[in-house]
Amino acid sequence: MNYFNNPSSQGQVLNGAFIHDHSFYSNQTFQANLPVVRLLEDLMQPSSHAKRPRKLSKVNRLRQITHQYYRHLVDANDVHYLEPRSSGPVLIMEAEMVSPILKQIVADTSNLDVSDQNIRDSLEITRREQAAFGRVGNGRTWLGENGERYIALDGVVMMFQSGQEKIIQPQQYYPYWHPINTRPYRNIQSYEVSTFEPANIRIIEPFIPLPKDRELLVYAFIILCMMPDRQQLALELTGISKKDMSQLQSVIKNMVDPVSKETSIRDIPATVKEVNRLAWRHQVISLENVDAPLSPVVQRRLRELLCNGHLEWKASGCNEITTSLVVSRPCIVSSLEPTIFHDELAALTLSLEMPSPSTSQPGKGYRRRLPQQGLNDEMQIRTFQALIALLGKAHANMDRLNIDRKMPDLWHDFCRIGMIVSEALNGCPKDFWTQFDAYRSERLCEMSEEEPVAQAIIEYIKINMITESVEKPAGLWLATLQQYRPAWAPDSKWPHEPRGIGSAFKRSAPLLEAQGITCYSNGKRGSNPDFSQGIKESG
Paired residues of 353 in beta bridges: 238
CA distance 328 to 310: 9
Return per-residue pLDDT of the chain as tens, 539 residues.
333 333 333 343 333 333 333 333 333 333 334 344 344 444 445 444 445 544 447 899 999 999 999 999 999 999 999 999 988 899 999 999 999 999 999 999 988 899 999 999 999 999 999 999 999 999 989 999 999 999 988 878 999 999 999 999 898 889 999 988 887 777 666 556 666 777 788 888 888 888 889 999 999 999 999 999 999 999 999 988 888 888 899 888 888 887 766 666 778 999 999 999 999 999 999 999 998 889 999 999 999 999 999 999 988 778 889 999 999 999 999 999 888 988 789 889 999 998 876 544 444 444 345 555 667 778 888 888 889 999 999 999 999 999 988 788 899 999 999 999 999 999 999 999 999 999 988 887 776 667 888 888 888 988 988 888 888 888 899 999 999 998 888 888 898 888 888 888 887 877 777 667 888 777 655 434 344 456 665 54
The amino acid present at 100, given as its one-letter code, is: P
Please tell me the predicted confidence (pLDDT) of residue 192.
62
**What pLDDT shows up at residue 349?**
95
Query: How confident is the model at residue 2, as a pLDDT?
Result: 35
Helices 296-306 and 272-281 sit at what angle, rounded to 10 degrees?
40
Task: For residue 133, give the amino acid letter.
Answer: F
Per the CB < 8 A criterion, the answer to whether 65 and 105 are in contact is: yes
- Please state, in angstroms and rounded to a whole number, the distance separating the CA atoms of residues 60 and 289: 49
Query: Given this model, what pLDDT does residue 41 score?
Result: 44
Distances (CA, A) of 332 to 194, 238, 257, 423: 31, 11, 12, 25
- Looking at residue 505, what is its pLDDT? 85
Count of all residues that appear for the chain in the document: 539
Residue 485 vs residues 83, 243, 463, 471, 504: alpha-carbon distances, Å: 63, 40, 13, 19, 13
Burial 70-85 (b: 16+ CB within 10 A, else e): bbbbbbeeebbbbbbe
Whole-number pLDDT of residue 372? 53
Distance from CA of residue 101 to its chain's centroid?
Answer: 25
CA atoms of 81 and 132, how far apart (whole Å): 10
Look at residue 257 in the predicted model and tell me its pLDDT: 84
CA angle 415/421/426 to nearest 5° reads 120
| DSSP state at residue 503 | H
Q: Are 180 and 375 spatial neighbours (Cβ–Cβ below 8 Å)?
A: no
Please tell me the distance from the alpha carbon of residue 492 to that of residue 134, in angstroms, as a whole number.
60
Predicted model pTM: 0.77
CA distances 495 to 454, 477, 504, Å, are: 12, 11, 7
Q: C-alpha dihedral over 85, 87, 92, 93, to 10 degrees?
A: -20
Tell me how far apart the alpha carbons of residues 321 and 326 are, in angstroms, rounded to a whole number: 14
